[in-house]
């Protein structure tokens, strides 16, 4: 059976990074998908925007899907829609990231160049470890959360579903971060964070609560 080609959902900046990861990994990429009608037929990094999600209809045997969406909640929505439609969702791990053989990486996850994922860490479905971010031993990144570039988690940190850890932020060991949390750029997290909280600063302090 011929190997499936991969379509990347999302023809923006995050999708471009996914394209680079897949090409560096030797994958065959069919093109981009995007539900923005203004992007239909556009050429991005030499590949065509083939259409929206509906393009996948009837092609589940020949195409799989990579998640090129930076927004956590939209990425989750596309993942769930694809899964319900029987579309295979693949992960994308840059060959110049370090991922321990003792770590686990869920479907639809993305690990960018220069990232480090250490022993016994768990990267959940659709989670993103961005450029140069580090995840130390025994950390748990729940589904669809995201570490922005240069964020660093010490050992045994748990990050809840759909949370963001901002660029250059750091988290000390044994911290639990709830779901739908935003940790601001450069923040230093030294205590647990409740669900739906935005924190900033050194040390990180709450500035508001958001609805989930």
Active site residues: 137
Q: Which helix (H) or strand (E) holds 170?
A: strand 170-171
β partners of residue 105: 123
- Whether omega before 176 lies within 30 degrees of 0, making that bond cis, reads no
Greatest C-alpha distance within the chain: 54
Structure tokens at 105: 């990486």
Place of tokens 């029987």: 86
Residues with Cβ < 8 Å from 64, sequence gap 6 or more?
A: 4, 5, 6, 7, 87, 88, 89, 90
Looking at residue 153, the DSSP 8-state letter turns out to be E
How far apart CA 143 and CA 104 sit, in angstroms, is 13
The strand ranges marked E within 60-169 are 63-67, 92-93, 98-99, 104-105, 110-111, 116-117, 122-123, 128-129, 134-135, 140-141, 146-147, 152-153, 158-159, 164-165
- Check if the beta carbon of residue 184 is closer than 8 Å to that of residue 202: no
């Amino acid at each position: 059976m011929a190997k499936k080609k991969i379509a990347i959902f999302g023809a923006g900046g995050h999708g471009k990074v996914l394209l680079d990861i897949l090409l560096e990994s030797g994958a065959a990429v069919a093109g981009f998908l995007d539900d923005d009608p203004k992007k239909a037929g556009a050429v991005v990094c030499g590949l065509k925007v083939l259409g929206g999600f509906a393009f996948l209809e009837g092609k589940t045997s020949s195409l799989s899907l990579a998640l090129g969406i930076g927004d956590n909640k939209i990425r989750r929505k596309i993942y769930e829609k694809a899964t319900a439609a029987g579309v295979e969702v693949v992960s994308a791990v840059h060959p110049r990231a370090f991922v321990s053989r003792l770590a686990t990486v869920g479907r639809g996850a993305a690990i960018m160049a220069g990232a480090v994922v250490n022993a016994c860490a768990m990267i959940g479905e659709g989670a993103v470890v961005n450029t140069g971010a580090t995840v130390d031993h025994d950390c748990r990144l729940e589904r669809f959360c995201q570490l922005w570039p240069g964020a660093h988690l010490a050992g045994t940190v748990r990050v809840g579903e759909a949370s963001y850890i901002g660029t250059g932020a750091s988290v000390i060991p044994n911290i639990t971060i709830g779901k739908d949390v935003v940790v601001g750029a450069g923040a230093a997290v030294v205590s647990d964070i409740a669900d739906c909280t935005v924190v900033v600063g050194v040390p990180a302090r709450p500035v508001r609560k958001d609805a989930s």
